[in-house]
């Protein structure tokens, strides 16, 4: 069994090769976004204790440095996509629809988890995972082929673009509740930890704005961003918090206050895929198999699907009143696929929250089911079956 530095090198090799393989398949038009995450999870499962046994069972603990930095970088990637300049261009009803729809999807999951006896922190964490949605399958479907009901596609993209905001806010509260400083008998209230998380992110974000001013070389920008994320990861780890919300706050400050935000976007995305692959391999290798939280699985599949369907019905009716032409039934099911943000939230929950036995296995299984079900619905309902219903 590989341990220490050797296991880290194997993980880095998997991350680099996985990212390059994805790029090669993308250039050849052979990508299948819904199955990419599943593929790397299978690789991790094969290399872990349930496969060849190359990694230890407590991989998320032994590779804590990778997890801390990876979560911070995923938070940064999410944060640099929150451009207020673009959000201000939307009409008010679009902003409200984009924010409220994922909230409606996540609320029944939180409520169901509380009724099932899960802790408030874990319940909110699962609700945040439920809110996350990935546009990758939708973009892959619409690229290079005829589609029907473009109004439905625009609505889904709108909600997916906003879904990370309520998810990150809810997760920040969940991480504060799970912190040892805020647990029963703790010295710091959870709301103060939420403020501290945002303050750390804002401080690092403004520091990056100053440090990258006048810098143009990609390697120097990457070094500064990497150092800043290490600072975020360390500062939040001391408080027993996840670096994800603080890094997202730092990324949002950076992209909205820097002079050339496009440069930082390129820098953030340059490490996004390798870090995502590394976390996927970590999650797959940590799959225990002996325990499985059936409650979590049902909440993130059946309950989430019903909530998404109901939210989609209200969204569609609301959009029609604003003269958005759309006729696709069950439009909310297009929100089922989940991407890298859901994965990052999962790793953060397992790595930092107490009492998560069986949660990793259940959430991974739920993400796979949601991706497959959402991709099937998109191909069936949105892919053009005939010229009579195709938009020009």
Question: What is the predicted pLDDT for the residue at 292?
Answer: 85
Higher pLDDT, 131 or 53: 131
Q: Within a domain: residue 390?
A: no
Question: What is the predicted pLDDT for the residue at 14?
Answer: 74
pLDDT band of 365, cuts 50, 70, 90? confident
Residue 387 has pLDDT above 50, yes or no: no
Rounded to an integer, the average pLDDT of 180-207 is 84
pLDDT band of 290, cuts 50, 70, 90? low
Question: What is the predicted pLDDT for the residue at 388?
Answer: 37
Q: Within a domain: residue 392?
A: no
pTM value? 0.87
Q: Within a domain: residue 391?
A: no
| Burial of 16: CB neighbours in 10 Å, binned 0-12, 13-18, 19+ | middle
- As for how many domains the chain has, the answer is 1
The total number of residues written for the chain in this structure: 392
The total of other beta-carbon atoms located within 10 Å of residue 89's CB is 9
CA dihedral (49, 15, 374, 60) in degrees, to 10, reads: 40
Q: Within a domain: residue 199?
A: yes
Q: Within a domain: residue 310?
A: yes
CB 349 within 8 A of CB 300: no
Q: Within a domain: residue 376?
A: yes
C-alpha to C-alpha distance for 65 and 79, rounded to whole angstroms: 21
CB 247 within 8 A of CB 201: yes
Q: Within a domain: residue 247?
A: yes
> For the chain, percent helix, then strand, then coil, each to nearest 5?
75, 0, 25
**Mean pLDDT, the chain, as a whole number?**
83
In sequence order, what DSSP letters do the residues of 303-332 get, joined into one string? IHHHHHHHHHHHHHHHHHHTT-----TTGG
Rounded to an integer, the average pLDDT of 181-196 is 78
Q: What residues are paired with 147 via a beta bridge?
A: 383
Domain interval for residue 254? 4-384
- Looking up residue 141, the CATH number of its domain turns out to be 1.20.1530
Residue 73 has pLDDT above 60, yes or no: yes
Q: Within a domain: residue 389?
A: no
Residue 187 has pLDDT above 50, yes or no: yes
Rg (CA), the chain: 20
Rounded to an integer, the average pLDDT of 271-295 is 78
């Amino acid at each position: 069994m590989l341990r220490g530095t050797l296991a880290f090198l194997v993980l880095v090799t998997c991350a680099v090769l996985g990212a390059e393989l994805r790029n090669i398949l993308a250039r050849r038009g052979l990508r299948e976004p819904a199955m990419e995450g599943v593929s790397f999870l299978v690789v991790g499962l094969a290399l872990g204790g349930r496969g060849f046994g190359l990694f230890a069972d407590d991989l998320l603990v032994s590779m804590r440095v990778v997890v801390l930095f990876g979560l911070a970088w995923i938070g940064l990637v999410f944060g640099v996509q929150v451009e207020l300049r673009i959000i201000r261009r939307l009409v008010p009803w679009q902003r409200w629809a984009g924010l409220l729809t994922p909230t409606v999807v996540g609320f029944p999951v939180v409520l169901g988890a509380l009724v099932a006896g899960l802790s408030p922190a874990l319940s909110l964490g699962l609700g945040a995972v439920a809110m996350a949605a990935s546009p990758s399958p939708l973009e892959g479907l619409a690229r290079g082929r005829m589609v029907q009901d473009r109004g439905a596609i625009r609505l889904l993209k709108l909600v997916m673009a906003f879904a990370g905001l309520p998810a990150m806010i809810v997760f920040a509260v969940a991480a504060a509740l799970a912190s040892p400083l805020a647990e029963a008998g703790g010295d710091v209230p959870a709301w103060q930890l939420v403020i501290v998380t945002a303050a750390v992110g804002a401080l690092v974000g403004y520091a990056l704005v100053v440090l990258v001013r006048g810098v143009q070389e990609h390697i120097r920008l990457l070094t500064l961003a990497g150092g800043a994320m290490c600072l975020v990861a360390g500062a939040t780890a001391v408080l027993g918090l996840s670096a994800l919300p603080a890094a997202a706050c730092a990324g949002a400050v950076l992209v909205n206050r820097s002079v050339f935000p496009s440069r930082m976007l390129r820098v953030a995305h340059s490490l996004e895929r390798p870090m995502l692959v590394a976390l996927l391999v970590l999650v797959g290798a940590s799959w225990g198999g002996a325990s499985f939280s059936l409650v979590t699985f049902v909440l993130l599949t059946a309950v989430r699907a019903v909530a998404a369907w109901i939210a989609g019905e209200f969204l569609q009716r609301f959009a029609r009143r604003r003269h958005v032409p759309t006729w696709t039934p069950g439009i909310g099911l297009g929100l089922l696929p989940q991407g890298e943000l859901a994965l990052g939230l999962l790793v953060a929950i397992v790595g930092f929250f107490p009492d998560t036995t069986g949660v990793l296995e259940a959430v991974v299984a739920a993400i796979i089911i949601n991706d497959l079900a959402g991709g099937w619905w998109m191909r069936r309902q949105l892919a053009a079956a005939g010229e009579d219903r195709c938009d020009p």
